[in-house]
Amino acid sequence: MSNETQRLIRLVNENLDYEKIRSNSIRLEKRHFNARNVLNNIVEQLSSKAAESKDHFEIQSPDDLPIYADYDRFVQIVFNITNNAIQFTDNGTITLIGERGYQETVIRIADTGIGMTKEQQKNIFERYYKADASRRAHKYGESGLGLAIVHQLVQQHGGTISVTSKPHKGTTFTVIIPDQTDEEKKDAAKQKQAPKTDA
């Protein structure tokens, strides 16, 4: 496994501190990077887990998919949603879709798994919520914190997350991350003029 891959695993396991994220004490370090590389890395990292559930991955994205985000947090967002997709899908397909919108980057994670009713979809971004109590005993989905954290992280980026789902058909999560704002561009230009001495 690549260093990058190992780093991703560490990140996801270590940094699920919901309270910190919620209280905004985690500062985003936003930068420009190619989101396609993250999609590739996550697929590589989760491929053996997907194989265990007889799922196969597809990526639909341009080779170059610019995004402005905190790299590690973005990894955490996509990793968590994709990890769920595998957990709730057997013998299916998980598609990671990346595209540019108007001044934003759009990531969709679509699965052909068990899906959710409207009722079940309602509270999934709430802390400790599980769509179905019986899923609690499932071999996966331990704490019910994943999507609550994902939601917080997306909001901190000024973005949105939404879900569409049908029982026995599958689920699609859509994450939209806005481009760098004019305000942020000005700040970045200032920083360049008078670089912060981080001593």
Q: Note the residues at the interface with Mg ion (CB under 5 A).
A: 84, 146
In this chain, which residue has its C-beta nearest to Mg ion?
146
Query: If contact means CB under 5 to 8 A according to the sort of partner, which of Mg ion, ligand ATP, none does residue 131 touch?
Result: ligand ATP
Burial class (CB in 10 A: 0-12, 13-18, 19+), 109: buried
> Alpha-carbon distance 93 to 86, whole Å?
9
**Amino acid residing at 14:** E
Least Å distance, CB 155 to ligand ATP, is 15
Which H or E element spans position 165? Answer: strand 160-166
Among 135, 158, 160, 174, the residue binding ligand ATP under the rule CB under 6 A is 135
Contact 99, 166 (CB under 8 A): no
Determine the interface stretch with ligand ATP among 18-26, 39-47, 69-77, 136-144 (rule: CB under 6 A).
136-144
Query: If contact means CB under 5 to 8 A according to the sort of partner, which of ligand ATP, Mg ion, none does residue 68 touch?
Result: none
Query: If contact means CB under 5 to 8 A according to the sort of partner, which of ligand ATP, Mg ion, none does residue 61 touch?
Result: none
| Contact code string over 24-63 relative to ligand ATP, x by CB under 6 A | ----------------------------------------
Footprint of ligand ATP on 92-131 (CB under 6 A): 111, 113-116, 124, 129-131
* Ramachandran angles phi, psi of 36, nearest 5°: -60, -40
Which H or E element spans position 93? Answer: strand 93-101
Q: Could you give the C-alpha distances from 198 to 94, 190, 195, in angstroms and in order?
A: 42, 16, 9
> Alpha-carbon distance 28 to 79, whole Å?
18
Footprint of ligand ATP on 160-199 (CB under 6 A): 171
Contact 154, 177 (CB under 8 A): yes
Point out which residues bind ligand ATP (CB under 6 A). Answer: 84-85, 88, 111, 113-116, 124, 129-132, 135, 141-148, 171
